[in-house]
Structure 1
């Protein structure tokens, strides 16, 4: 017997079911009108073919019923099935044919909205598209393979099984997030050089054309063609960017900081020109992930942007020979090697002779020769090499490992002897300079929006000089070593196709040792300093190519353990395209630097590579800090290009010993700053295969040493006016470039002859940098020709001549008291004389 509660429950259920499957007492209505009313009431969309509902009529369900109950009612009253997809889309199909057809919807993976006109390829032979609701339908076959694609989305491949015919498929396409390529003005100065939206110059050595005096894409020689970048002594080891010293530039090779940048003591870059894939140069507004520099950043990457085929090449010129090879070990891994070695061990070419005379003028080595004029003999050996190794391994679809190794070495041995009055005097000099580096990078693409990079690196540098003097029975040893290691963590987040966000952490440890040891009399001094820093980085970027707006801002917070000091370094890059031809750019940055190069004595390390690295102590050797802002207008139309940039830069915390003084400040130790402002202009015109450009730089650069009797005077690296011109012709495989460079002379300090007793001379100077050297002027030419044989072997021949007119340009001048004549002696240093070079290269 039923209990009262059970009876009430069954009674309620019975009437609920009756109510559910009952219909309005109104008139019969067209089926199409019924589902239209349901669409309006429940905000859904029905998908069907007209033949399914033609002439179909029935009583409408009650309005107060839920959507599912209405669909159940309609299914019971018709021979139709109703599939409800997310209370948004309802597919209608016949019950007796549902197993013979397959239907589906295509949605966006981000906002779940339907994708209209998505292309669907069935078994690679039948193509159809989705409707406005993302709906598609096709007849089922034995084997169904679908390729679904749409512009802006990643193509998806799916295999349809038997069970998929019972319900409509739901396909979600992931958006194809690709960072929009920054708008670049192609062929600035030469093919392969461009300017990016963030204000940096980008060099692609493998696409490099030609520049006057260059037959190979030497990174550090090439960057000297950029307005605002100079080298007062023609050395790639003394590059001055907007008045800064060379050590104030940050040089990175695959994430490794390089402390040695030149072979042959600065006349050749240590970076193999046949290896690098991308070189980025920032004069201002560098990204927040770059620290430890108060001047420019030069970032060299030898990792290709896209997969490359196997390659092998070898070349030789009048200084060195090199080889390059890339081998794909598998589809997911490759190895790349390069090696370069001087040929000066075996032959002295005219190029080598000019280089040697330029480097060793006015050093202790040549001083020995000048002071000995009886039975003088000299034996010299000079050599250098560099080698790199890269191994890259793709792990699965998301991970990549890259290992980079580099080794660089220069070695000089000079033995000199002379017999004077029956006594033998000799010196044996050895100078070695080397840099080793390694970097291990792990990169993971978590998804299309998030990427993480972690790299661990080490860089070791050594400068060693040994001098043995036989007659004085004296040995002098000088050594400067640097050990730099650290770890970088960088996360990249693509929020939209226009907006991205980056954050990261960097740890850096640098240890520097300076050793001096002398015998007879005995002297020994060894100083070692270590500094550890932590940096936290945040950075955001907005890049809209349609509105022509590029904006990147970020900051790094440096924490120096030893000094318990925080330093904030904000950065900004803003670019706005006023129209398609005219672009406005604003760059700004605050940066700091904890290490620098100084000169204790001009004769250290034989006066050749006399600079040594040291670490700031936050007192007598302050942390260098810079601030810089620049405003740029860039115009490009009808193959005309005009680039005008005004800038202001100030660097605090410099020391007199880091500036290379050879006047009354050579032995003064004080700190101060330099302030530089100026204008850089470039005008360029391209006419078919001919490209010509003219650049001008105005640079006003002055020191401020408040504790010195002359607190303000011109900077040692000031070139008030610099003008460069080049004409370049490229047709097919033939290239030729002619150019000239003119600059006002660098500052120098003259002696005050009115206060010098010539009978017992002691140097007395005028105000520092009170006058200038003579004007510098040089004309250079270069040409290359490339041809290929029927079997695919490529040959390239290059010829260049530096200083065609053989002009004797003075690049340095100082004064000293001669011990031989007891008089004041003017010592001059000159640039390279006419210097030819020839190169030949074979590529497979």
Structure 2
């Protein structure tokens, strides 16, 4: 009993001493003063907030810190009580700090209305020039008590100027929302779609804004061509990023513009990666139908990419690395009226071959000469090695030489380069084949705003594309050289007249000269073929944007485009129309329609062209065996946008005439057939989206019937190679503070395929054995399934430096998807001819990791 009491007493004494010692520590901690700046830094880190203050107001103050157990509101109240300062919460992140004897000062905060971000460097000037100031890094500015009763203006480059009365400001800082400097009748948004940064417009377009973008499944950076494929009616049947099919059209039927210049190359790694650096490609507009009259070519769709067009207020940049490439970008203000933007990206496999690079290589080089299992000398032991690299570089010079005049100079170059070396192991003799794909574009533009309602834009540009290869046979001295060269130069003049708050008229002129050459040369047996065509076109267009009620309830855009081709002495008139009519309770009806024509297309001569890697070559129409391609489209839809819900249903019909069999890439009985025809598409798109501030979930579905019609083929009507009947996506994203995560499931039915005739696969024609095929595209490949996930975290290293960390996994279930099957004749060990199946499969499980430092 005594020992038990003694033990308990010892424990009691120990606990008491420990408690007293803790109180002494706490007391000591609470009585020791600390610099207020240091206390505020601790609170910023603890509660994820930011203080806005004048350094001279807080730098000399030291106080006893608030207790650790206090929440943010309690800590601010404590600071209000014991300091000569007022701490005011503007929102859940920003807190202003001003001296109590200055509380009569007027305070405001400048906010970007589109992104919600604070704007630094906005100019605040009184109309009588008695005072002026600029907003700080958090968007705040302060005016003296003496400014009461006067008006002041707020201005910022690229935004509409605002005039306010000083008395409208408050000591707790009025938020002033700055609107981008756009014309009154520019197309407006219906609402954001799926995730932040994707918006549907009243003219039927879909816009992507990289500045304020959310996160999509499988996304490691803001690759605009990958993001585009999340939209209903936009997909890639062969799983590549840049080979986009819009409502059943081929990739060459899309007009792709970079800063208003037509592009003839859109991918790195031969299509697996977009060729456009996402860091400076800020805005993308996509039209599936009803495009404005200023857009020509592209009978299936328009993808209009624009880089940043405003001069940066302060130096901004970033550098990043993922498992495929490294990149950097800079926005440099040279002065108040001049700025420079530049970006660069290059592959890293020359230094380190990552597992992702190897996976991409296996995917893109399958069914090519690089990985072909067929060999004319199968008994020889040959080793092969490929060396592939890519890069892109862009720069833009911006000069606002007056309030009304802006000059822009653009330059972009990109390259894919492949060296393929074969070595005979026994003799160590080797041959290297090469493939290079290059693009070089440049443009100079001058925009002038003549008056409040009149503006013009002039652009002179050049776009150059070169694809060339030399294929050296390891067993002979034969060399085959191939080249596809495109040069387009032109001028564009656009004008806009706003005649009232309801009407805007747009008109313009476009002259272009396009030259395309194709060269093939073989040394043994000696053969040379070179074709070069040039086409000049003169285009005028006009259109009107009309809002009968002066608001967004009714929006009508109508126009026409007149194309004159001097070589053919032919004129085509193309009407365009889009109508948006709100009917109440969140519902609206839309109608879209357009006629279009196209004078460039791509063809495939042989599967072995350009080493079998990049088989498509650009050609010009000749109005004979390659006619001008023409299209007609129409669609009607219903839109619902209300209370965090968005739904859209749209029925459409598209007819395209003038396509050639060579442009479709047939791999069946029509592979070497030369004929012209068309295709007809009809279908329905549906999408529904539920969004909250932190969560978004969506479902999209496309049903489409796509049939060819060739008058000289048998049968003359059969399913299109891109006839994907059912396409569905189910996805969701979640964000919390600096963290985002997205998960998505993609499905589509298999593409049509032609199989050899069962039981009679091989027949003899003119003494040569060939494959006898069944009905064209009568069967289908197995359905496609893929699940992707991605995550993003923004790590704030300091007030001016952030690290963006991304992780994405494509095909997390490692589903084996067959993208294509073709058939070739081979000879077995006994000399017998047999049919060999060549299968192209999708990417398997593919993780990727990216980190980017932004400053």
Fold match by TM threshold 0.5? yes
Displacement of 1:375 after TM fit? Answer: 4.0
Work out which of the residue numbers 437, 443, 448 in structure 2 matches 1:444: 448
**Deviations 1:322-372 (Å, cap 9, x if unpaired)?**
010011111111000000011011111011011000001111221167775
Alignment partners' CA distance in 2, 1:272 and 1:470 = 38
Alpha-carbon contact 2:540-2:563 (below 8 Å) kept? yes
Alignment partners' CA distance in 2, 1:493 and 1:485 = 27
Alignment partners' CA distance in 1, 2:545 and 2:716 = 42
SS in 1 for 2:464: strand
SS in 2 for 1:252: strand
The equivalent of 1:775 in structure 2 is 783
1:656 has 2:661 as partner: yes
The equivalent of 1:384 in structure 2 is 390
How many pairs are equivalent? 684
Give the 3 Å change call, closer, same or farther, for CA 365–508 of structure 1 in structure 2: same
Alignment of structure 1 residues 654-733 onto 2, 5 Å:
654-733=659-738
Alignment partners' CA distance in 1, 2:196 and 2:163 = 39
1:434 has 2:438 as partner: yes
Question: RMSD of aligned C-alpha atoms?
Answer: 2.3
Alpha-carbon contact 2:229-2:236 (below 8 Å) kept? yes
SS in 2 for 1:395: coil
Displacement of 1:379 after TM fit? Answer: 2.2
Alignment of structure 1 residues 90-109 onto 2, 5 Å:
none
The equivalent of 2:798 in structure 1 is 790
Of 591-600 and 300-309, the range deviating more from structure 2: 300-309
Give the 3 Å change call, closer, same or farther, for CA 575–472 of structure 1 in structure 2: same
Displacement of 1:293 after TM fit? Answer: 1.4
1:272 has 2:283 as partner: no
Alignment partners' CA distance in 1, 2:128 and 2:808 = 61
The equivalent of 1:94 in structure 2 is none
The equivalent of 2:589 in structure 1 is 584
The equivalent of 2:839 in structure 1 is 828
SS in 2 for 1:274: coil
Displacement of 1:637 after TM fit? Answer: 1.8
Work out which of the residue numbers 764, 770, 773 in structure 2 matches 1:762: 770
The equivalent of 2:366 in structure 1 is 361
1:467 has 2:447 as partner: no
The equivalent of 2:105 in structure 1 is none
Alignment partners' CA distance in 1, 2:626 and 2:380 = 46
The equivalent of 1:170 in structure 2 is none
Give the 3 Å change call, closer, same or farther, for CA 790–625 of structure 1 in structure 2: same
1:641 has 2:646 as partner: yes
Give the 3 Å change call, closer, same or farther, for CA 210–663 of structure 1 in structure 2: same
SS in 1 for 2:239: coil
Alignment of structure 1 residues 209-220 onto 2, 5 Å:
209-220=214-225
Give the 3 Å change call, closer, same or farther, for CA 358–373 of structure 1 in structure 2: farther
Question: Which 5+ residue runs of structure 2 have no aligned equivalent?
Answer: 1-125, 132-148, 155-159, 165-180
Displacement of 1:727 after TM fit? Answer: 1.3
Work out which of the residue numbers 304, 308, 328 in structure 2 matches 1:303: 308
The equivalent of 2:819 in structure 1 is 811
Work out which of the residue numbers 831, 837, 841 in structure 1 matches 2:852: 841
Give the 3 Å change call, closer, same or farther, for CA 121–313 of structure 1 in structure 2: closer
Displacement of 1:443 after TM fit? Answer: 0.8
Give the 3 Å change call, closer, same or farther, for CA 825–838 of structure 1 in structure 2: same
The equivalent of 1:232 in structure 2 is 237
The equivalent of 2:28 in structure 1 is none
Alignment partners' CA distance in 1, 2:128 and 2:476 = 92
Alignment of structure 1 residues 66-465 onto 2, 5 Å:
178-180=183-185, 182-304=187-309, 308-367=313-372, 372=378, 375-419=381-425, 426-465=430-469
**Deviations 1:73-129 (Å, cap 9, x if unpaired)?**
xxxxxxxxxxxxxxxxxxxxxxxxxxxxxxxxxxxxxxxxxxxxxxx977869xxxx
SS in 1 for 2:606: coil
The equivalent of 1:14 in structure 2 is none
Give the 3 Å change call, closer, same or farther, for CA 154–383 of structure 1 in structure 2: closer
Displacement of 1:819 after TM fit? Answer: 3.3
SS in 2 for 1:277: strand
**Deviations 1:408-442 (Å, cap 9, x if unpaired)?**
100000101235xx677754210000110011001
**Deviations 1:18-48 (Å, cap 9, x if unpaired)?**
xxxxxxxxxxxxxxxxxxxxxxxxxxxxxxx
Alignment partners' CA distance in 2, 1:306 and 1:496 = 30
Alignment partners' CA distance in 1, 2:355 and 2:182 = 55
Alpha-carbon contact 1:147-1:155 (below 8 Å) kept? no
SS in 1 for 2:770: coil
Displacement of 1:804 after TM fit? Answer: 0.5
**Deviations 1:550-583 (Å, cap 9, x if unpaired)?**
1111111000010000001110011011115111
The equivalent of 1:72 in structure 2 is none
Alignment partners' CA distance in 1, 2:686 and 2:657 = 27
Displacement of 1:776 after TM fit? Answer: 0.4
Alignment partners' CA distance in 2, 1:298 and 1:504 = 20
Displacement of 1:639 after TM fit? Answer: 1.1
Work out which of the residue numbers 611, 618, 622 in structure 2 matches 1:617: 622
The equivalent of 1:504 in structure 2 is 508
Displacement of 1:310 after TM fit? Answer: 2.2
Displacement of 1:545 after TM fit? Answer: 5.9
Alignment partners' CA distance in 2, 1:635 and 1:834 = 37
Displacement of 1:147 after TM fit? Answer: 6.4
Alpha-carbon contact 1:785-1:796 (below 8 Å) kept? yes
Alpha-carbon contact 1:483-1:511 (below 8 Å) kept? yes
Question: Which 5+ residue runs of structure 1 have no aligned equivalent?
Answer: 1-119, 126-144, 158-175
1:602 has 2:646 as partner: no
Alignment partners' CA distance in 1, 2:198 and 2:640 = 17
Displacement of 1:182 after TM fit? Answer: 3.9
- TM, length-normalised to structure 2: 0.77
Displacement of 1:177 after TM fit? Answer: 9.3
Give the 3 Å change call, closer, same or farther, for CA 655–147 of structure 1 in structure 2: same
Of 355-364 and 461-470, the range deviating more from structure 2: 461-470
The equivalent of 2:538 in structure 1 is 534
Of 452-461 and 536-545, the range deviating more from structure 2: 536-545
Displacement of 1:762 after TM fit? Answer: 3.0
Give the 3 Å change call, closer, same or farther, for CA 637–427 of structure 1 in structure 2: same
Displacement of 1:156 after TM fit? Answer: 9.8
Alignment partners' CA distance in 1, 2:301 and 2:654 = 12
**Deviations 1:614-650 (Å, cap 9, x if unpaired)?**
0001011000000000111110122111111110000
The equivalent of 1:525 in structure 2 is 529
